[in-house]
Amino acid sequence: MGRFEWTLDPAFRASNAAAAAASDASASSAPPQPQPRARWRLGALATSGTWDATAPSVFETPMLLSRTRRGEHPHLMPDIMDLLPAEARAFQVSLGHFLDRLGPDHVGNHPNGGRAYFGVRPTCVVLSPRDPIAFETNARNANDDGVFVAGPDGTKPLTVAEYARWIKALQVDAYVSLPDERPCVEVEEVDDDADADAAAAAAAAETARKKVVTAVKRTERWLEACLGADVGGAACLASVQGGSDLALRAEAARNAAARGDAVAGFSIGGLGTFAVVSLRPPLAFNPRPRRLSTSTDAFELHPDIASYGTTLSAGESPGPTRDALIAAVISQLPEDKPRHVTGVSTPLDVIRLVELGVDIMDGAFAHQCTENGYGLCFPLAPKRADGEKEFEPMHAMNEHPDATRHSHQSEFVEETDKDRAIQGGDAWKINLLSLAFKLDARPILPGCDCFTCANHHRAYIHHLLQCHEMTAQILIDAHNAHQYCRFFRAMRRAMREGTFEAFAAFYRDRARRVAGGG
């Protein structure tokens, strides 16, 4: 498509420079290690829009990329997509979904080009080799020829040349350069009751580091190859790897930044790799940490992530370790190009990534909630002193006046911590499979004006889930996508108005107050 242009809001260019100078001055006597600090900024991403270029699009950042399956929203048809905020048409497309028996020509030979293959007319498409929320832990290791990607027909090899053919066929706006992704920590559990052999642990750590060094070098070689390939004018987001090694991360970021205008932005990889954030109810969470043979300390749970499962490696899950890794990368990147991250989870995780300076992230959390029968249920902001409504009106899209009136007249009333815990929910979502909602005539989120909340209630959706009706996922996803887009919009509004710190504090306080809010 040929257009993927990001610009930084000038007001944040000046404020970030001042913040960096103040931070550097205060840390002049400290060891030269990147420290996570607030780098949040607003920007705008311009793309060529729909396949026929009749609707060029501009997205405010920070922004989310909607989860897709084979380039389409997993549950929503075009008519429902039309009712969502415009930013819902920015897609994260995973190439692994296309790796079946049909090659790139099957898509590229579409009468109007590969972009028209997507039925819902996306206005921004970012392609990555793997699915951010489904990565095979037993997949074969990469080699010098390429990586192995999980697809519908099993694990398939993917070379730079084949990747370039797919990029050109799909006519994407931007793509992540082919990465050799390694988990942030090579997990090897040891017996809690026995002391790990120091020599064996050191050898394992050195082996893990050598693998990461090799992965970084491969990723850099493949970036060079991607930049020299025919990709149909798509912009390149340079993948930055490095595992949990701060020095390797910083070096990889510097090398990627040295490409200058050859790259349109950067994708910080290796976060959320080989694991999926748990969506289990908080009562099922086991807070007992595991000891890792490659770490000198047991993994300590960060207070902001009390409901995360332990399937993530220490450097991948939200917390001080990951913050330091991202800070090490961003400190080496130019401020005039966007930063992209996958493996994002709750709204609290989004806020932290924005504080670190991330601009584009995947919206898979909303999709994961849908797949597990959860509806997003949290206020978009604290109540304003001027009495302004928290929920902005959308299109006049309701054909059931009674349902619409019910939704708009209902105020958001917080369930108690006990109720949310018993129902299997947390600070961000309610479990619509819970029998507590069997006769609940309220919409998923009282006060929300999405299609689902305007026309249906919790009891009906609970019934659909119990009957295994696919309509349940359609209705839940329509609400979750709407609510998550509105959350990002509320966050950007707070940034523009200079109230982002209060906005972040509001959600952190909510996570502490409401059960399992991590």
Binding site residue list for Zn(2+) = 448, 450, 453, 479
Characterise 135 by phi-psi region: left (phi > 0), alpha (psi -120 to 50), beta (else).
beta
DSSP 307: T
Q: What is the 3-state secondary structure (H, E, C) of 433-458?
A: CCHHHCCCCCCCCCCCCCHHHHHCCH
Encoded tokens for 118:
């997507």
Planar angle of CA 367, 449, 496, nearest 5 degrees: 80
Which residues lie closer than 8 Å to 100 by C-beta, 6 or more apart? 151, 152, 153
Place of tokens 């584009």: 360
The CA-based angle 130-134-135, given to 5 degrees, is: 65
Please, what's the b/e burial string for 382-416 (b: 16 or more CB within 10 A of its CB; e: otherwise)? eeeeeeeeebeebeeebeeeebbebbbebebeebe
> 501: Cβ–Cβ under 8 A, 6 or more apart, which residues?
none
Numbered residues of the known binding site: 448, 450, 453, 479
> Which ranges of 117-197 would DSSP assign to H, the alpha helix?
160-170
Task: Report residue 165 as tokens.
Answer: 């053919």
- In DSSP terms, 67 is beta-bridged to 92
Read off the amino acid at residue 444. I
